[in-house]
A and B are shown apart, each in its own frame.
Chain A
C-alpha cells in the first residue's frame, strides 16, 4: 500500500475527534509494539493495535473506520495495562467504534441472530455485545 502523509491529514478534524473521544494523546505512542505483542485478538486483526495508533496519528480515517480490527478488539485491556507510555489503546479502539456507531453503522444485527444462538448464550454475553456492537 502506498500511503500519502500530509500535514492536512495529520491536523484534520478526525484526529482531533479520536483524541477527544478516547481521551488520549495519540502522539505519546512511540511504536514499541508491546500492545500488539500481547493482544489476544491480534491474529484475527487486519491492522494491528500499534498500527491503529500510527494510522490514527496520521489521520487515515477511511482505513481505520473500515478495518475489521476495531470490531475484533475484545476490550480486555491487556494493551492498556502494558503500554510504557500510558496510552490507552482500548479507548482508541472504542473511539473508532463509536464514530461508526454514532453514525448508525451497526456492526451486529441482532434480528439476524438465529433463535438457537439467542437461546444458548447468557445475558452477560448478549448485553456486552449489544453495548459494543450496536448504537
Chain B
C-alpha cells in the first residue's frame, strides 16, 4: 500500500523540524511515503457552517492529487491539516449533494472525486501499520531521563467522528513515548486548548494558556512536553517569551514534536532534529540525558 504525504503550509518553514524528523523516523520504520507533487493549503480550520461548501473544495482537491499519485491513503502529520482534510473528506462522503457541488466547482480537474481516499495521521500509521512493538525493537537510543507530558491540543482527537483514539483521554502518544523508552507522566491538561489562532491578535491570552499548561506539566513531574501540531508548538514554545513577561515565575520548558523523539530514539543525528527552530532550547535536557 502506498502512502501519499501531505505536508501542509507550516511544515516547509517554521516546522521543518517536524517534517524532517517525521520523514526520517518513518523511513527508519520502513514506511514508504511520497509527497504529493502539487498540493494546496487545506485552509487550516474546518468550516463549521452547515451551508459552507466552497471552503471544503481546497482540502478535497488534495484527495484528487492523491488519486493521481495512485494512492488510496493520504498521510499528514500536522494536527490541523489532519482535522481539516479528514472532516472535509467525511463531509464529501456523507452528503452526496455537496460532493457533486464540490466536483462542479472543480470542473477543470481531469476526474471527479469519488470519496475514495482515506486520510490518516502519521501517529495512526506508526501505531496501526508499523505497530508499537515493532517500533520498540528498532529503538537504539531509549529516551531515558525524559519525563514527557503528552499534549494533544484541540484538533487531533476532536470531534469524536475523526478521532483515532479516545476524545477525552487519549493515550496513543503516551504509548509511543513508552515504546521509545521514555516516561510519560499523567497529564491533566493534555486536551486543554492553547488558544490556537488567537495567538495572532491576542498573544496575552495564549500566554495565559501556555502558563497554565506548562506549570501543570511541571507540577505533574514533566521535564519536556511533546506535541503533534505546529500551532501548539508555536504557542507553547515561542510564546514562552510573552508568557515570561506576564508570568515571570514560569519555569520554562522545552517543547518537541513526537517525531523528534522518534528520530532520536531511532538513531537520527542532530541534523534531522533542526533544534535551531526552537525557542526554548531542548539541547541542555537532551544532552544531560545523554541523547545527543
Contact with B along A102-135 (1 / 0, CB 8 A): 0000001000010001001111111111011100
CA distance A80 to B209 in the complex (A): 20
Chain A residues in 8 Å Cβ range of B199: 121, 125
Closest to A120 in B: B238
In chain B, positions 87-106 with a C-beta closer than 8 Å to chain A are none
Chain A residues in 8 Å Cβ range of B78: 124
CA distance A10 to B159 in the complex (A): 30
Residue B41 CB within 8 A of the other chain: yes
Q: A77-B154, A78-B154, A108-B201 are in contact. Are A122 and B10 (CB under 8 A)?
A: yes
Contact A122 B13, beta carbon cutoff 8 Å: yes
Residue B171 CB within 8 A of the other chain: no
Contact A122 B15, beta carbon cutoff 8 Å: yes
Query: Which residue of the partner chain, among B8, B159, B198, B238, contacts A81 with CB atoms under 8 Å?
Result: B159
Chain B residues in 8 Å Cβ range of A40: 192-193, 195, 209
Chain B residues in 8 Å Cβ range of A9: none
Closest to A21 in B: B49
Chain B residues in 8 Å Cβ range of A133: 201
Contact B200 A74, beta carbon cutoff 8 Å: no
Contact A132 B197, beta carbon cutoff 8 Å: yes
Chain A residues in 8 Å Cβ range of B45: 75, 128, 131-132
Residue B127 CB within 8 A of the other chain: no
A contact patch SS: helix
Residue A94 CB within 8 A of the other chain: yes
Closest to A109 in B: B201
CA distance A98 to B49 in the complex (A): 8
Closest to B193 in A: A76
Q: A91-B48, A94-B48 are in contact. Are A125 and B200 (CB under 8 A)?
A: yes
In chain B, positions 180-199 with a C-beta closer than 8 Å to chain A are 191-193, 195-199
Contact A78 B195, beta carbon cutoff 8 Å: no
Chain B residues in 8 Å Cβ range of A21: 49-51
Contact B44 A74, beta carbon cutoff 8 Å: no
Chain B residues in 8 Å Cβ range of A78: 154, 158, 191, 193
Chain A residues in 8 Å Cβ range of B231: 122, 124-125, 128
Q: A81-B167, A128-B231 are in contact. Are A123 and B9 (CB under 8 A)?
A: yes
Contact A128 B48, beta carbon cutoff 8 Å: no
Contact B8 A124, beta carbon cutoff 8 Å: yes
Residue B133 CB within 8 A of the other chain: no
Chain B residues in 8 Å Cβ range of A81: 158-160, 167-168
